[in-house]
Amino acid sequence: MRLKPVCYILLFSLLIRLYHIDFPIGGKHGWRQADTAAIAKNFYENGFSLFYPQVDWQGDKPGYVESEFQIYPFSVAILYSVFGFHDFIGRIVSLIFSLLTIYGLYLLVRKVRDVSTALWTAFIYAILPMNIFFSRVFMPEPLMLMCIVYGLYFFVNWIETERDFDFYLSAFFIALSILLKIVTLYIGLPLLFLVFQKYRFKFLTNFKLWWYAFLVLVPSALWYYHAHMLLDKGGVTFNIWGFGTDKWGNFNLLINPSFYKGLFLESIAETHLAYLGIVPLIIGLIIKRQGRLEKIFDYWIISVIIYFLIVADGNKTHDYYQLPFNLPAAFFIGKTFSYYLSTNYLKSFFSKLNFKTILFTIILILLLVGSYIKASRFYLTENYNLPYFLMAEEVKKITVKDELIITICDYNPLMLYACQRKGWAVKPRDLSDEFVSDKISKGVKIIAGEKQYFKSEEVSPKFDYFKKKYKIIQENNNFVIFEVR
C-alpha cells in the first residue's frame, strides 16, 4: 500500500524528535518542565486527584497550586500506573500530540486552500527548531497547540456543514485549550471572523453560537474559580492572574523599543524561524488568497500578535510563549514554497528550473540547515553531567523517599524533582538560622545546592559560616551537601 505524502512528513517528524527522548527532566526551560513533571508524579503517588494538583516545593504542606487545568500531567500519571514511573513517558505523550498537530494543520490548510500548500505547511511546521525541541518536552504546550488546531478545523467544518459532530468537537478542543492556557482566548478572533463571514450581524441572535460560547467558556470559569480557592485555602500559585505584576498586563513594555526588538527580531526571527523563514513568511502574507476561508490565517496571526502585546512580560521572558505564532506562520511560509516550488504534491520540485525556483530551493535548504543548527543548540542544554543530576544521585543515597530537604538555588524546583524529594527551594540569602532551625524541626536533615549560588560577594560569607556550623557530607567544584541534624 502506497503511503500518502503527509505520512512521510509525519514519519520524518517522528524520527527527528526521538533524540534524547529518554533524557530526564532538565535542560532548556527545565524549571517549567520540573513543575509539570512533579504534578504528574504527585497525581500518581497521591491518588489521582485531578482537581488538586500538587507541587514539591511547599515542604511539609500539601502543595496545592493555583494553576491551569492539569489534564496533561494527569494523563501522564495514568500511563505511569500502567508502565511505571518514567520521565520519558511524558515526553512521548508530548511527541504524540505534536504529530497530531502537524496532521491537523495539514487537514486545515488542505480544506481552506489546497493539498500542495497543506503539505508544505506541515513540513515547514515540522522542521522549525522550536517546534522540534518543544514537541518532546514535559510541558502542556504540545497539547494546547493541538487543541487550537483541531478546534479551528472542526469549526471550519461546522461553518460549512452545520453538523453537530463538528460543532461539539470544536467546542471541546477550544474549551480544553483555554483550560490549558487562559491566554488562548485570543483564538476567539479567527472564530469570530468565520462566524461573521457566514452570519454577518445575525450571529448575535444565533442561539447555537451562544451555546458554543457557553460550552467553551464555562468550564474554564469553573476551573479557574476552583483553582483560586486552592490558593485561598493555603495553597501556592503559578501567578496566572498576576496582572501588571507578572507575565501579563505590563503595558509599559509596549512603549519600549527593546521589547519589540527582543520579541520579533531575537525570538521570532532568530529562535523560532532561524532567520531564513522570515522572507517566505513575508511573501506568503502578500500572495493572493484563494477563498474567503483562507483569511482565517490572517486573523489567526493577528490574534497571536494581540496576545503578545497583552502577555508582554511573559513573551519578553519566555521564548516558548511564542510557539502559537508558528502555527499560522508555517502556513504563510508553506504557501510561499508551494507557490514557487511545487504545484503537484511536491513531485515537480525541480520541474521549472528558473531563477525563482533556484532561489527558493536555496532558501529552503538554508532554512533546514539553520533549523538543525538552532535545534542542536537547544539540545546542548540537555547534558547528563549537569551538576544537579550528580548532586541528586548523592542526595538519594543519603535520604529516604519521604524525607524533606532544602535545595539551594534560585527558587527553581528542578533540584527537588531531580532528587525525587519534597522540601524547599530557596536562595542562599533565605538561609537564616531561624529558617534552617524551623525546617530542622520539620524533619530536614540535608541542605544541598550547586556551588555557583554561593559565588557572589553577598552570599559567600554565608557559605563560610555554614561550613563552620554544619557538617559537610560532600563537596566538590559543582555542588555541596550539608548535614543539619
What local confidence, expressed as pLDDT, does residue 325 receive?
A: 98
Mean pLDDT, the chain, as a whole number?
A: 91
What local confidence, expressed as pLDDT, does residue 233 receive?
A: 85
Residues 362 and 394 in one domain: no
Residues 116 and 204 in one domain: yes
State the total domains in the chain: 2
297 Cβ partners below 8 Å, 6+ apart?
112, 190, 328, 331, 332
What local confidence, expressed as pLDDT, does residue 266 receive?
A: 93
How far, rounded to the nearest angstrom, does the alpha carbon of residue 388 sit from its chain's CA centroid? 23
Residues 216 and 317 in one domain: yes
Of the two residues 454 and 113, the one the predictor is more confident about is 113
Q: Is the pLDDT of residue 348 over 60?
A: no
Q: Which domain holds residue 415?
A: 387-483
Q: Is the pLDDT of residue 121 over 70?
A: yes
Segment 344-373 shows an average pLDDT of 76
What local confidence, expressed as pLDDT, does residue 244 receive?
A: 65
Residues 146 and 285 in one domain: yes
134 Cβ partners below 8 Å, 6+ apart?
141, 142, 320, 323
What local confidence, expressed as pLDDT, does residue 245 receive?
A: 65
- Give the position of cell 514539591: 56
pLDDT in tens, 431-449: 888 999 999 999 999 999 8
pLDDT in tens, 60-94: 999 999 999 999 999 999 999 999 999 999 999 99
- Say what angle helices 5-15 and 115-127 make with each other, to 10 degrees: 0
Cα dist. 290→112, 261, 349, 397 in Å? 8, 33, 22, 64
Residues 371 and 403 in one domain: no
In whole angstroms, give the CA distance from residue 402 to residue 424: 13
Range of weakest confidence among 101-115, 119-133, 464-478: 464-478
Residues 190 and 310 in one domain: yes
pLDDT in tens, 6-22: 999 999 999 999 999 99
Secondary structure, 3-state, the chain: CCCCHHHHHHHHHHHCCCCCCCCCCCCCCHHHHHHHHHHHHHHHHCCCCCCCCECCCCCCCCCEEECCCCHHHHHHHHHHHHHCCCHHHHHHHHHHHHHHHHHHHHHHHHHHCCHHHHHHHHHHHHHCHHHHHHCCCCCCHHHHHHHHHHHHHHHHHHHHHCCHHHHHHHHHHHHHHHHHCHHHHHHHHHHHHHHHHHHHHHHHHCHHHHHHHHHHHHHHHHHHHHHHHHHHCCCEECCCCCCCCCCCCCHHHHHCHHHHHHHHHHHHHHHHCCCCCHHHHHHHHHCCCCCHHHHHHHHHHHHHHHHHHHCHHHHHHCHHHHHHHHHHHHHHHHHHHHHHHCCCCCCCCCCCCCHHHHHHHHHHHHHHHHHHHHHHHHHCCCCCCCHHHHHHHHHHHHCCCCCCEEEECCCCCHHHHHHCCCEEEECHHHCCHHHHHHHHHCCCCEEEEEHHHHCCCCCHHHHHHHHHHCEEEEECCCEEEEECC
Q: Is the pLDDT of residue 96 over 60?
A: yes
Percent of the chain with pLDDT over 90: 73
Q: Is the pLDDT of residue 168 over 90?
A: yes
Residues 366 and 401 in one domain: no
pLDDT in tens, 234-267: 889 888 877 766 677 788 888 899 999 999 999 9
Identity at 340, one-letter amino acid code:
Y
pLDDT in tens, 172-186: 999 999 999 999 999
CB distance 162 to 46 below 8 Å: no
Residues 323 and 409 in one domain: no
What local confidence, expressed as pLDDT, does residue 291 receive?
A: 84
**Of 379, 411, 442, the domain-final residue:** 379
Q: Is the pLDDT of residue 485 over 80?
A: no
Residues 101 and 182 in one domain: yes
What local confidence, expressed as pLDDT, does residue 345 receive?
A: 40
Q: Is the pLDDT of residue 328 over 60?
A: yes
Q: Is the pLDDT of residue 346 over 50?
A: no
Percent of the chain with pLDDT over 70: 95
Angle at Cα 303 formed by Cα 209 and Cα 171, nearest 5°? 30
**Of 363, 379, 395, the domain-final residue:** 379
Residues 327-350, buried b or exposed e (16+ Cβ, 10 A)? Answer: bbbbbbbbbbbbbbbbeeebeeee
What local confidence, expressed as pLDDT, does residue 360 receive?
A: 87
**Confidence category of residue 342, pLDDT binned at 50, 70, 90:** low
87 Cβ partners below 8 Å, 6+ apart?
22, 23, 24, 25, 37, 138
- Residue 174 dihedral angles phi and psi, to the nearest 5°: -65, -40
Length of the chain: 485
Residues 257 and 319 in one domain: yes
Of the two residues 338 and 244, the one the predictor is more confident about is 338
In whole angstroms, give the CA distance from residue 168 to residue 440: 54
**Of 339, 362, 379, the domain-final residue:** 379
Range of weakest confidence among 137-141, 334-338, 429-433: 429-433
How far, rounded to the nearest angstrom, does the alpha carbon of residue 375 sit from its chain's CA centroid? 15
Residues 239 and 114 in one domain: yes
Residues 349 and 403 in one domain: no
What local confidence, expressed as pLDDT, does residue 202 receive?
A: 87
pLDDT in tens, 370-418: 999 999 999 998 988 888 899 999 999 999 988 999 999 888 999 999 9
Q: Is the pLDDT of residue 1 over 70?
A: no
Strand 423-426 to strand 405-408: parallel, antiparallel, or no bridges (unpaired)?
parallel
Range of weakest confidence among 117-126, 135-144, 228-237: 228-237
- Residue 482 dihedral angles phi and psi, to the nearest 5°: -100, 145
In whole angstroms, give the CA distance from residue 145 to residue 167: 19
